[in-house]
Amino acid sequence: MIETPQSFVTRQECEKVTYQNGFRRPHGEFDGWQRYSSTTAQGSIWLARDTSGPWLLALDHAGVIAEIGIEASDAAGPGLARFRFASLPMLYGVMPRIYELAASLPDAPLLEFIHRTKNLPKTTEAERLVVQRVGQNIFRERLIKYWQGRCPLTGIVDKPLLRASHIKPWRDCDNDAERLDVHNGLLLSALWDAVFDGGLVTFDNDGGPVFSERLSERARASLHFDGPLHLTDKHRNFLDWHRTKVFEVKTPTVTPAD
């Protein structure tokens, strides 16, 4: 049974967990559920507490629900899905990932791009390049959030060594929604980015690397990885394009003889 209305202690804990994790806009309580939203992430979250102890979280962002990686409960309440946590630390443990996903999944990057470029001139090539750089910076920022600040292959977290790798390149995308979709990107270390962008490696539907025959054994040996990529169906759709249009298609660079 949901604690209704919330006690002072429960309400204070709800405010702390949401404020510390990006959802800082309170919208009041309804049937024991406190609703919060964010100025930098999509969707709303609701928090409640069962009178027997467990904490409850409700979400209305379908993309977050699909990728959060935890099983929904049968609890009744607001949103599209509800989740039960035996303790407050367990709830705290999942909140950063919820915010990262809510801040990076479509259409959050696109909406930010539209907002930040709506007053920028786009007449000349130089002006269009400025707009493109804004989009690429937004894409990188959101990709870093989505992949939790690390290359998913190597675990490298040093930002100067991380590249926001488009699966389907910016110039080949059909629209800005594709260009800014985080599922159209991988956060790769510099070496992995170079071979991926150059069509010397791609990934199968299980996230495992597929190397080009043009890649030397020595180069392959340098491409260490801890395990396969964790992919969604949206990633797989973009990678299908990469396998067809980029992998093994690009002409190798020929170094002139001395």
Name the percent of the chain lying above pLDDT 70: 96
Q: Is the pLDDT of residue 97 over 70?
A: yes
Number of H helices, E strands in the chain: 9, 9
Tell me the C-alpha distance between 14 and 27, whole Å.
12
Q: Is the pLDDT of residue 249 over 80?
A: no
For residue 136, how far is the Cα from the chain centroid? 15
Mean pLDDT score of the chain: 93
Q: Taking a C-beta distance cutoff of 8 angstroms, is the pair 138, 181 a contact?
A: no
> How big is the CA angle at 148 (ends 143 and 154), to the nearest 5 degrees?
95
Query: What residue segments make up the domains of the chain, in order of their start?
Result: 8-94, 149-245
Q: Identify the residue whose tokens are 């809510």.
A: 102
Question: Based on the number of CB atoms within 10 Å of its own CB, is 73 exposed (0-12), middle (13-18) or buried (19 or more)?
Answer: middle
Structure token pair of residue 169 = 């390149």
Q: Is the pLDDT of residue 258 over 50?
A: no
What are the pLDDT digits (tens) for 153-208? 999 999 999 999 999 999 999 999 999 999 999 999 999 999 999 999 999 999 99
What are the distances in angstroms from CA 244 to CA 97, 187, 195, 199, 203?
Answer: 32, 21, 16, 10, 12
The predicted pLDDT at position 106 comes to: 78
Strand partners, 162: 189
The predicted pLDDT at position 107 comes to: 85
| Residue type at 191 in one-letter notation | L
* 221: alpha, beta or left? (left if phi > 0; alpha if psi -120 to 50): alpha
Tell me the C-alpha distance between 2 and 124, whole Å.
59
Whole-angstrom Cα Rg for the chain: 22
The predicted pLDDT at position 257 comes to: 47
> Quick one: average pLDDT of 28-45?
95
The predicted pLDDT at position 250 comes to: 58
> How big is the CA angle at 233 (ends 92 and 202), to the nearest 5 degrees?
105
> Quick one: average pLDDT of 20-46?
95
Question: For residue 19, how many other CB atoms are within 10 A of its CB?
Answer: 13
Quote the pTM value.
0.84
